Chain A
Amino acid sequence: MSPQTVSEDIQGLLSGISEADILVGIPSFNNAKTIGHVVRAVQAGLARYFPDKKAVLINSDGGSTDGTMEVVQKTAIEDFHSIFVSHQINLMKITTPYHGVPGKGSAFRAVFEIAKNLNVKACAVVDSDLRSITPEWIDLLLRPVIDMGYDYVAPYYLRHKYDGTITNSVIYPMTRALYGKRIRQPIGGDFAFSGQLASFYLSKDVWETDVARYGIDIWMTTTAIANNFRVCQSFLGAKIHDPKDPGADLSAMLYQVVGSTFDLMETYYDVWKDIKASEPVNTFGFRYAVGLEPIEVHIDKMIDRFRLGTKELSGIWGTFMPVDLRGFICNDLSVVPNEKFNLQDDIWVDIINAFALAYHTKKINRQHLLKSLTPLYIGRVASFVIDTWHSNADEVEEKIENLCLSFEKKKNALIDEWDK
């Protein structure tokens, strides 16, 4: 295994602290604008809900140049007693740059190492670009671990029906069908876990792989489920964060997220091949509905992108996709009028399964394979938008449920092909 990501100075500091009950990690990279709010919410949450626990806040930074670490050090709730008259704060704050492969996974690894060193009972990690985090999030994430013996708490957010489309159309249905647990936001970004699970994560030899760079969220969720740790989810309310880098392109996102999911399919084949159905997991927190503000979507443009893909990439898809599936996508679907455009659930599941199998058999270069998924994904999103334009949140959730059932229904066929 590669050397530790935490410096010797921090190791010394930790030996001074000796032990702690709770650790909250905030990975960051150039988040000076938003991290102050996140730190304040964490401090307030710990003070209000866990006043008797010894807590440590770790900012694991990837080399920010905008003063993120300074903001963390300086941030404090100035008039603390006006907010929590009867509460004291028992919090130690540490900022540390991590070493190793640059990426969110390495930042998390530093958190796991510190959690192990301090022998903490519970950890939480929250994104540093959150604008909607409140002190209640800390309670909702940590309470199931501290009081109820859960090992892993996934977030459950309120999101617009067209937010998190990769999660809704690929990652959630696939994770659920493969591993049998209905965790609605497997790549949510804000999690809590037990000290025992943190040590387990640390024992895995993945810290020089893509997990250290970008695949950490789905890796944590899948590792927890596949290794039979007790999992649940907590309803946190709305998730509003800084807009992602506009330069970050969709195909790179798909490549990273879907590639990580496919990699985990290889690792845990022996686990998922025997799981026949999915079951709900316990959900904590008070659930409420979200208002749907109109948003701008250019459906015609999206369908054009899909059609461009079917025209130019059908040769690539032909190397691994069943003939009838490719025929339907490239011949039938590419000529229907836009208003009748419909990439149904069954077809979408067949597409994703064909990509997963091609990834498994290495039929073509994996980067080419995953990046050629982009036009099909855009087509699926366009179809979903057309289908749900007038739907409310519950109706949309029902449609996502139907997609999940399609994934579950076709799982046996996937296993048969996988074994060939």
Chain B
Amino acid sequence: MRNSFKETIIEPLQEFYKNVLDFLPDLLTSILILALGVLMAAVFKKASARLFRIINLDKLSEKYGISGILKKWGLKDSVSGLLSKIIGGLIMFAFLIISLRTLNVPTIEGFLGDLFLYLPNVFVAVLILFAGYFLSDFLGRTALIASVNAGLKISGSIGKFVKLTVFFLSVTMALEQLGIGKETVLIAFAVIFGGVVLALAIAFGLGGQDAARDYIDKRLKGEEDKDDIQHL
């Protein structure tokens, strides 16, 4: 009876106690690293904010229109504020990872391993989204200006259509990079894009037969209402 009590109750408790004692130094180290991380993040955030102020980053961002883009996205921070927050966040994140690894818990280590393997995908996806945003803005604007200069009444819609299409394409690529619904997203994009083009073709073909004929006649036969003004 006595032996049985020792085996079932005392020994597991002793084992647990031993494990806790073994784990405590790791936990304390981990907490210390985390605290150091909080401190370092705050210091780097402040120092980088000061550095950005010295090099007049906000003025430069204003000049090159980056501040305008942030405002458009609804971000109230200045560029220097945002960048210093990102730097602080990255340092905090690095220390958090180190502190978690210090715990030496197999489950956490496995999770961190998976996370590290996946992180490059997230990084590339974010890059694709950024590039997609800027490219969509650029191409949308190019299409808008070109169609205004061609005198097309639907210039605004053309610009928006080009912008949204390019951005949607970049979102599709980013999701594919993250491995989320690979085929579904691609098929959805193809169906929507193809559908829009088909709808436009049918609409123009059926609804605008006369307009299309007039336009082609004028273009091909040179019957446009041209001014005699020589610009150069």
> With A319-B68, A365-B138 in contact, is A165–B229 under 8 Å at CB?
yes
Give the interface segment out of B23-31, B83-91, B145-153.
B145-153
* A305–B227 alpha-carbon span in the complex (Å): 13
Check B2 for interface membership: any CB of A closer than 8 A.
Answer: no
Give the interface segment out of A24-32, A100-108, A148-156, A307-315.
A307-315
Check B159 for interface membership: any CB of A closer than 8 A.
Answer: yes
Check B221 for interface membership: any CB of A closer than 8 A.
Answer: no
Contact between chains at B232 and A312 (CB < 8 Å): no
Chain A residues within 8 Å of chain B by Cβ, number: 45
* A304–B152 alpha-carbon span in the complex (Å): 11
> With A165-B230, A165-B231, A305-B151 in contact, is A316–B141 under 8 Å at CB?
yes
8 Å CB interface, A160-187 against B = 160, 162-167, 187
Contact between chains at A298 and B225 (CB < 8 Å): yes
8 Å CB interface, A347-396 against B = 361-365, 367-368, 371-372, 374-375, 381, 385
Give every chain A residue within 8 A of B159 (Cβ-Cβ).
312
Contact between chains at B63 and A361 (CB < 8 Å): yes
A-B contact count (CB 8 A): 89
* A251–B64 alpha-carbon span in the complex (Å): 24
* A44–B229 alpha-carbon span in the complex (Å): 32
Check A249 for interface membership: any CB of B closer than 8 A.
Answer: yes
Contact between chains at B229 and A162 (CB < 8 Å): yes
- Which listed residue (B65, B142, B144, B229) contacts A363, Cβ 8 A? B65
Give every chain A residue within 8 A of B144 (Cβ-Cβ).
312-313, 316
Give every chain B residue within 8 A of A296 (Cβ-Cβ).
226-228
Check B81 for interface membership: any CB of A closer than 8 A.
Answer: no
Check A81 for interface membership: any CB of B closer than 8 A.
Answer: no
> With A308-B151, A316-B141, A363-B65 in contact, is A371–B146 under 8 Å at CB?
yes
- Which listed residue (B148, B156, B229) contacts A295, Cβ 8 A? B229
* A329–B231 alpha-carbon span in the complex (Å): 22
Q: How far is the CB of A361 from chain B (nearest CB, A)?
A: 6
Give every chain B residue within 8 A of A254 (Cβ-Cβ).
231
* A385–B65 alpha-carbon span in the complex (Å): 37
Contact between chains at B230 and A162 (CB < 8 Å): yes
Sample of 17 more A-B contacts, CB < 8 Å, known A164-B230, A312-B155, A364-B65 = A162-B228, A162-B229, A164-B231, A253-B231, A257-B232, A297-B228, A302-B227, A308-B153, A311-B156, A316-B141, A316-B144, A319-B65, A368-B141, A368-B142, A371-B145, A372-B148, A385-B229
Give me 9 A-to-B residue pairs in the complex whose CB atoms sit less than 8 angstroms apart, sorted by A's number. Answer: A162-B229, A250-B231, A253-B232, A295-B228, A296-B226, A301-B225, A312-B156, A319-B65, A385-B229
